[in-house]
Structure 1
Amino acid sequence: MRTSDAAMITAQKAAHAVPRVSIALTKSGASDATYKAGYGTATENRIIEIAHVEEEFSQRASVVLHNRDKVLTTDLSGYKAFLTWGMVDASGADNVTGAKCAPLWVVDKQDHSSQGELLSTLTLWGIPDLLAFNFAQDYYWQDSSSDWKVKRLIQAVVGGILPPAFDGWAQAYSTTFDSEDQLMDSFAPAELFEVNLRDNALSKLRELLGWTKSVTRGENDTNMHFLVPIHSHDTWEAARKYEL
Structure 2
Amino acid sequence: MRTLTSTLAAAQKATTYKGLVKIVLTLTGSATQTYTASRILDIKYDESDKQSAEVMLDNSDGVVSAIDFRGYKGVISGGATTSGGDEYSPKPPLWVVGQQNLSWGGRLASLLSLAGVMNFLDSEGANAVYAPDDTDTDTVKTIMTAIAEATLSCYSHAHAFTITFTNEDSLIDSFQPKDFFRIAKNESRLSAMKRLLSYTQMVMRVDKDGTIQVFGPTTTGSTYTDNSEYELGAGNYAFFSLSHRKRIVIPHYVQVDSHPATGDSYTGYYEDTDTASLVAIDSTIGQREYLELRVDDNAQATAIATARMLHYQLQAEKGSANVPMNFGAEVYDYVNCIDSRDGDTNRVGNIGYIRSHYSHTGKTLYS
**TM range, smaller chain:** 0.7 to 0.9
**Match of 1:137?**
127
SS in 2 for 1:186: coil
Larger Rg: 2
User: In structure 1, how many angstroms separate the alpha carbons of the residues matched to 2:128 and 2:47?
Assistant: 31
**Match of 2:172?**
184
User: In structure 2, how many angstroms separate the alpha carbons of the residues matched to 1:64 and 1:51?
Assistant: 9
Deviation at 1:166, TM superposition (A): 6.8
**Match of 2:112?**
122
Q: Which whole-Å deviations, capped at 9, do the CAs of 1:192-221 have from their partners, x for residues lacking one?
A: 111112211111110011111111122111
**Match of 1:174?**
162
User: In structure 1, how many angstroms separate the alpha carbons of the residues matched to 2:206 and 2:19?
Assistant: 22
**Match of 1:103?**
93
What amino acid is the match of 1:85?
Answer: G
What amino acid is the match of 1:124?
Answer: L
Structure-1-length-normalised TM-score: 0.85
User: In structure 1, how many angstroms separate the alpha carbons of the residues matched to 2:186 and 2:16?
Assistant: 51
- Do structure 1's residue 64 and structure 2's residue 52 form an aligned pair? no
Q: Is the 8 A contact 1:67 1:119 kept in 2?
A: yes
1:15-34 to 2 correspondences below 5 Å: 15-34=15-34
Q: Which whole-Å deviations, capped at 9, do the CAs of 1:107-152 have from their partners, x for residues lacking one?
A: 1111121223111111111111111111122211110111111111
RMSD between aligned alpha carbons?
2.0
Q: Is the 8 A contact 2:147 2:155 kept in 1?
A: no
What amino acid is the match of 1:131?
Answer: L
Q: Which whole-Å deviations, capped at 9, do the CAs of 1:136-188 have from their partners, x for residues lacking one?
A: 22211110111111111111212223222376xx5321101122112111111
Q: Is the 8 A contact 1:51 1:61 kept in 2?
A: yes
What amino acid is the match of 2:3?
Answer: T
What amino acid is the match of 1:121?
Answer: L
User: In structure 2, how many angstroms separate the alpha carbons of the residues matched to 1:21 and 1:2?
Assistant: 16
Aligned length: 224
Alignment counterpart, residue 209 of structure 1, candidates 175, 197, 216: 197
Q: Is the 8 A contact 1:135 1:166 kept in 2?
A: no
What amino acid is the match of 1:9?
Answer: A
- Percent identity reads 33
Could you list the structure 1 runs, at least 4 aligned residues long, displaced by more than 2 angstroms after superposition. none
**Match of 1:54?**
47
SS in 2 for 1:197: coil
Q: Higher helix share goes to which structure?
A: 2
SS in 1 for 2:90: coil
SS in 1 for 2:152: coil
SS in 2 for 1:130: helix
User: In structure 2, how many angstroms separate the alpha carbons of the residues matched to 1:126 and 1:190?
Assistant: 31
**Match of 1:80?**
73
5+ residue gaps, structure 1, are 38-44, 236-242
SS in 1 for 2:61: coil
Deviation at 1:21, TM superposition (A): 0.4
Q: Which whole-Å deviations, capped at 9, do the CAs of 1:72-125 have from their partners, x for residues lacking one?
A: 22221111111111111135x1022xx111111111111121223111111111
SS in 2 for 1:135: coil
